[in-house]
Amino acid sequence: MFDIQNYGSFIAAIMIFQLIPGPATFAILSATSKNGLSAGFAAVVGTLLGDLCFMIAAVVGLAAIMQANPVIFQGLQWFGAAYLLWMGFQLLSTNEQTSSTRPEPVKSAWVYFRQAFAVCMTNPKAVLFFVAFFPLFLHPESSRLTLLIMMLHVTILSFLYQAGLVLTGNQIAIRLKPVPSAGKIASRIAGAALICFAVKLAIHNL
């Protein structure tokens, strides 16, 4: 279908990839728990834009440039690890300084869009993932249109899954709002998760 080889497996692979929690997942859930649906969907848009940038970069050959210049790739890895580490400690420190009786300050959706986009863009390995992923489902004679259709599939399915995360996360946040420690625990989990991702990326980069 759409000149995509093993179409069913292609769809299944995208969904499995989405189900693996990563830094973007925690950024979306954290934004939703803090400021509701608008913040959550702003984070979704930021994540989707980041993925789209990586897919376009993969298609035009940025991955080949990065592989040919390992110093550049390694620099991006260290930058990504440092940024995720900073965000993780920000969540932990903000959580400690915020009183349990004081509501989370309202921030514009733009703030959460920028945060999610930055988190997504600090994972340069995503470029290599798309370079390895797309050829698995391409015919040798496939056109550029097929690549565009594959990118569209990834974007739409990612949006549906992440929108589900926002809606589910918002309902959970509403139900837990009467529990003073719920937001504190959620922030600590998100912060710890980002720090773990940063450490993992840094260790792999050694």
pLDDT in tens, 79-103: 767 777 887 787 777 644 444 445 5
Mean pLDDT of 54-75: 70
Q: Is the pLDDT of residue 48 over 90?
A: yes
Is pLDDT larger for residue 141 or for residue 15?
A: 15
Q: How is residue 188 written in tokens?
A: 């600590």
Mean pLDDT of 42-51: 94
Q: SS in 3 state form for 86-133?
A: HHHHHHHHHHHHCCCCCCCCCCCHHHHHHHHHHHHHCCCHHHHHHHHH
- CA-nearest of 197, 193, 154, 125 to 48 is 154
> What is d(CA 194, CA 81) in angstroms, rounded to the nearest whole number?
9
pLDDT at 98: 44
pLDDT at 30: 84
Q: What stretch of H or E contains 57? A: helix 23-60
Q: How is residue 47 written in tokens?
A: 């994540």
Burial of 160 (0-12, 13-18, 19+ CB in 10 A): exposed
pLDDT at 105: 63
Provide the 3-class DSSP secondary structure of residue 4.
strand
pLDDT at 85: 81
Is pLDDT larger for residue 23 or for residue 174?
A: 23
Q: How is residue 98 written in tokens?
A: 């915020």
Q: Is the pLDDT of residue 27 over 80?
A: yes
Paired with 138 in beta bridges are: 4
pTM: 0.70
Q: Is the pLDDT of residue 78 over 90?
A: no
Q: What is the largest CA-CA distance in the chain?
A: 62
Tens of pLDDT, residues 139-197:
766 777 888 899 999 999 999 999 998 998 788 766 655 555 655 676 677 677 778 77
Tens of pLDDT, residues 125-134:
677 677 777 7
pLDDT at 112: 92
- How sure is the predictor about 63, in pLDDT bands with cuts at 50, 70 and 90? low
Q: What is the mean pLDDT of the chain?
A: 77
Mean pLDDT of 58-74: 66
pLDDT at 117: 92
Q: Is the pLDDT of residue 8 over 60?
A: yes
For residue 160, give every residue at least 6 positions away whose Cβ sits within 8 Å of its Cβ, in sequence order, or none: none
